[in-house]
Amino acid sequence: MADKARVAVMVSSEGTNLQALIDAQKSGLLEKGEIVLVISNREDAYALERARKEGIETCVINAKANGREAFEEECKKIIDARNIDLIVLAGFLMILSKDFVNYYDHKIINIHPALIPSFCGDGFYGLKPHIAALERGVKVTGATVHFVNEIADGGEIIAQKAVSVEEGDTPETLQRRVMEQAEWLILPVAVAKLCRKIVKERS
C-alpha cells in the first residue's frame, strides 16, 4: 500500500523480535508500516515459520555455501525488487559489509541486547552480552535499537530501555527479562516511528 512503509526483517534464529513486530502489526501499532518480507541466512530458523503462518513472504539465502558477497548481492536483488523502505535486523547473526550498509544508508536498524556502548561490538550476540553483564556485576542492563553502519553496533542510537539485573540471575534468565521488558517493547515502537517518518517524507 502506498500509505505504508514496506519493511523487510532479516533473521537467523527463533524470531522472537519478529514476533513482536508481527504482534505490533496486528494490534495497529505499526499503522504506517507493513512487514512484507522475511530473509534468513539459515533455512532452519524458526522465524521463517512465524512469517509463513502470517502469510509473509520468506526467502532463505545460504551465506555459508555462497559467501558473504554473494549473499549480499542476492539480498540486494530481492530487497530492491520489492521496494523495501526499511530493513530490520532481528536476531540476524551476520556482520554486513560496509558496502551493503552504505548502500542502504539509514535504512537498516538493529536491536542489541545491551545498553550500547556497553557489551557490544564484534562477538557480542546471543547470550554473550548477558554473560558479560553478569561477569562485570552491573546492576542495570537493557536493550538498544540503533541504525546499522560499518562498525558493529556502532550506528546512531534510536531507542534504549533499561532493565534491572536481579540477584541470582543466570545469563538465560537475564536474556529473557531483557527480551520481555525491553526488546519486544522498544523495537516495535522504533519501527512504527520510522515508518511514520518514511510515509510522511514521501507524501
**CATH code (residue 116):** 3.40.50.170
Q: How many domains is the chain partitioned into structurally? A: 1
pLDDT per residue as tens digits for the range 101-144: 999 999 999 999 999 999 999 889 999 999 999 999 999 999 99
pLDDT per residue as tens digits for the range 134-157: 999 999 999 999 999 999 999 999
N residues, the chain: 203
pLDDT category of residue 202 using cuts at 50, 70 and 90: confident
pLDDT of residue 2: 66
pLDDT per residue as tens digits for the range 49-100: 999 999 999 999 988 877 889 999 999 999 999 999 999 999 998 999 999 9
Q: How far is CA 83 from CA 74, 79, 80, 121, 183, in A?
A: 15, 6, 5, 30, 27
Q: Which residues are catalytic?
A: 112
DSSP string, 36-83: EEEEES-TT-HHHHHHHHTT-EEEE--HHHH-HHHHHHHHHHHHHHTT
pLDDT of residue 1: 52
Of 14, 11, 31, 10, residue with least CA distance to 188? 31
Residue range(s) defining the domain that contains residue 65: 5-202
Per-residue cell: 107? 535504512
pTM confidence score: 0.96
From CA 109, how far away is CA 190, in angstroms rounded? 9
Per-residue cell: 119? 557489551
Give me the helices (H) in the chain, please.
16-27, 46-53, 63-66, 68-81, 98-103, 128-136, 171-178, 184-202
